Chain A
Amino acid sequence: MFSFQKQFHFLTTSALAILLAVSMSSCDLVSSDDDGDDKLSPPVTYEFKRDGESTVAYPGQMDRRKMVAEMTAYVSEADAGNEISEQTLIDMYTNAGGNGGGHFSFSSDRQLSNKVFPPKADNNFYRDIFARAAAASKKDTTASNGQAGLLEREQSGGTILVSKKGHEFTQLVEKGLMGSVFYHQVFNVYLTDGKIGPQVENEELVEGENYTAREHHFDEAFGYFGAPQDWLENSEASGKFWAGYASEMGGVSSSDKLSASTIMDAYIKGRTAIVNENEQVLDEQVSTLYEHLELLTAATAVHYINSTISQLSNGNQGEAFHALSEGWAFVNAIKYSPNRKLSTDQINTILNTHFGENGNFWEATPSGLRDAKALIVDNYPALEPVKDDL
């Protein structure tokens, strides 16, 4: 009698423990579906080895991330009212003399200027910005409609230097390059068949290195994302650039549509599939990356449109133009995605009509901003449930 009761308790407890485990795993976003044939199962972090040594390397991407960071820091000196030089910006952009004309804190044989979206339009865009930012920084004027100059940021303090249309130069440079170099290189170069397709060398190691060409190309696509290799596992490791935004946007929703781990997982599984030469898994992961990286840009754009409206509703024009400058660059970045759900016409409408006639932020209206948001959400239905929380 006594032992029966005990056993009964044991059973109830076990049943509940199972229920509990099930209910807990429903929170768990990482699913593991092992393929029986694979030699390697996806590791927890982006760590891959051959003969005990790491095969992961993306020094070129690290260099270019540093270049963008240091250029951004230089342009932002103009936000504080200091003069900046066009030549310095060009030297950093083209990495003159292997050290940005003496303006980088490091040396490198890479450059940003030969990696921007071809053929010429983007290159001209940046050179034009450098000239205009430098000229505006010399004038020491307050910005107004049609007049480049400084605008006060009402909440964060300080000022920003904006073009005559109200675009913040720092954002055009930083977020712009995130699109026309990082994003473009991932989408149109490193995740393409020419770089990671089955015909790319995956047996012979690249001379002097511990990786194959195919492995390395995928790592380069990972490097431009901006996540540390132990991202999301190590809570201390924070993502930069795109990975930083993935964390931020993922934070607003419990849905895996915007989860940062969806992207990180796809990178890890994709790289594993290259090691295993499992073409089907690789294809799946690559399409996840295309889809979710694009969704991330769209989500970030909506986030900044929301922020613009809310800042304007409190009369914070400087904050609003800062947010809209970010929004401008994120909407613009969508055009680098070969599968983009927004057409180039729609992107142009957002940038040059919804964000103000001819892209002039001073001519922006709340209804235009709301139209822009609606157009993006229409094309990315995954954003519908979170569009006001972003």
Chain B
Amino acid sequence: MNFTYRSTSLLILVLAVFSWTACDVGESGSDDGPDFDREAMLANFGENIIIPSYDALVDSLNEMATAADNFSADPSTATLQQLQSTLKSSRLAWQRVNLFNFGPASNNLLRTSLNTYPTDTARIEENIDSGDYTLGTVSNQDAVGFPALGYLLHGIGANNQEIVSAYTDDPDASERMQYLEDNVDFIQQKASTVAQEWSADQEDYLTMFLSQDNLGTDAGSSLSMLINAYIQHYERYIRDGKIGIPSGVRSAGVARPQATEAYYAGYSKELALANLQAVQRVFKGITFPDGMNNRGLSDNLEAHDETELVDEIESNMDDAISSVQALNDPLSQQVQNNNDKVQSAFQDLQAVVGPLKTDMTSVLGITITYQDQDGD
């Protein structure tokens, strides 16, 4: 009797669950084990890493805008240096957010607007000449953003004296100054828009990022978007964009110095290093700016008893960081003088991809939704 009763209940339960799951198309969750709180990890990413990093970028861009105003009001090597230094800190701040190219960043084309390189100097000069341009258009993508500022503040003279005179004495000095200021404005606007869209007191993407509907691991879930953006950024924009392509992996081993990120400003390696450190911090869940070790991808893997995989990823990341550290700026010269070291850094960067892209995603139940691509 008891047996009958139990088997009936069991049958009913199974059927009920089955019928329920048959209707359910939304969430899917992999079991992270009893000790892991995915929502808390996402909250750590959103509240303690992503939003403060955007805010820091915006602060830095505000300082750059002030420095640009000062330079415009009183062009001198002193005000130029000030502007160059705020450009550098902004580009470093950018390295902490560029790995989050989903949601507001993707909708606003933040990456292509701020950091398409190599910059098209001919197009920049054309725009300055004509004075007729809209900086946000597709056709101006490679004439705007940080790389364009790099050219305008470092690349138009042999030294700072000459650069200042391009803004004071040259026939097109005032048009050039205008373009510089428009570009500074453009970058500031773009980044502020994205920061506002994330912000809880403005458009509040954060709430959507943390909403119950998006807590699964299916294609539209927050974790899936974050991990896809993260790995795609690592593969395509760090391994290839910052190191591989300048070292010639896409051009039959022929180095392409002009394809370095900060070709005119000369600190491409420093930017690459900063970006790798940001990648590492997201993996570990380290907060910004206070550097607390909170929940991150490594913790999520450990909840699945994947300590070995965590060790492998962390040790490969450490190796990649040391070999990028061992490179010299300007990277554009290193790829011409001692490219072997750059190519071996590329190999070390590559060694992180497999464990991240194949092993980590399969443990966490995440599908890679972006397509690989050959060439640049």
List chain A positions with a Cβ less than 8 A from chain B.
2, 5-6, 9, 12-13, 16, 20, 23-24, 26-27, 144-145, 154-155, 157, 166, 254, 309-310, 312-317, 320, 356, 361-367, 370, 389
Residues facing A in B354-370 (CB within 8 A) are: 370
Q: Smallest CB–CB gap between B148 and chain A, Å?
A: 15
Q: Is the CB of A20 within 8 A of B19?
A: yes
CB-CB under 8 A from A367, the residues of chain B are: 108, 136
Chain A contact residues: over half helix, strand or loop, or mixed? helix
Residue from A315, A363, A389 in contact with B116 in the complex, judged by beta carbons closer than 8 Å: A315
Q: Are B20 and A313 in touch, CB under 8 angstroms? A: no
Set of chain A residues within 8 Å of B232, measured between Cβ atoms = 314
Considering only residues 76-103 of chain B, those with a C-beta below 8 Å from chain A are 101
Contact A309 B22 (CB under 8 A): no
B317 vs chain A, min Cβ distance (A): 24
Is B138 part of the binding interface, using a Cβ–Cβ cutoff of 8 Å?
yes
* B residues in contact with A16, CB < 8 Å: 12, 15-16
Establish whether residues B137 and A13, one from each chain, have CB atoms under 8 Å apart when the complex forms.
no
B116 contact set on A, CB distance < 8 A: 315
Nearest CB in chain A to that of B12: its residue: A16
A365 lies within 8 A of B134 (CB): yes
Task: Identify which of B8, B25, B106, B375 contacts A9 (C-beta below 8 A).
Answer: B8
Output the nearest chain B residue to A312 by Cβ-Cβ distance.
B109
Interchain CB contact (< 8 A) of B12 among A13, A312, A314: A13
B138 engages A317 (CB within 8 Å): yes
Q: A154-B373, A363-B137, A389-B220 are in contact. Are A313 and B105 (CB under 8 A)?
A: yes
- Chain A residues within an 8 Å CB radius of B19: 20, 23-24
Interface centre among A26, A361, A363 (most CB of B within 10 A): A363
B117 to chain A, nearest CB (A): 10
Residue B110 lies at the interface, judged by CB distance under 8 Å to chain A: yes
- Distance in Å: Cβ of B186 to nearest Cβ of chain A: 11
Contacts of B136 in A (CB 8 A): 365-367
Q: Residues of A contacting B8 with CB < 8 Å?
A: 9, 12-13
Contact B107 A370, beta carbon cutoff 8 Å: yes
> B138–A364 contact, CB under 8 A?
yes
**Is B176 an interface residue, CB under 8 A from the partner?**
no
By Cβ-Cβ distance, the 7 closest A-B pairs, closest first, are A362-B139, A365-B136, A313-B106, A145-B139, A366-B109, A27-B23, A363-B137
- A254 → B minimal CB distance (Å): 5
- A312 and B5 within 8 A (CB): no
Question: Given contacts A310-B106, A366-B107, are A2 and B15 in contact (CB under 8 A)?
Answer: no
Q: Which residues of B contact A145 (CB under 8 A)?
A: 139
Residues of B within 8 A of A320 (CB): 138
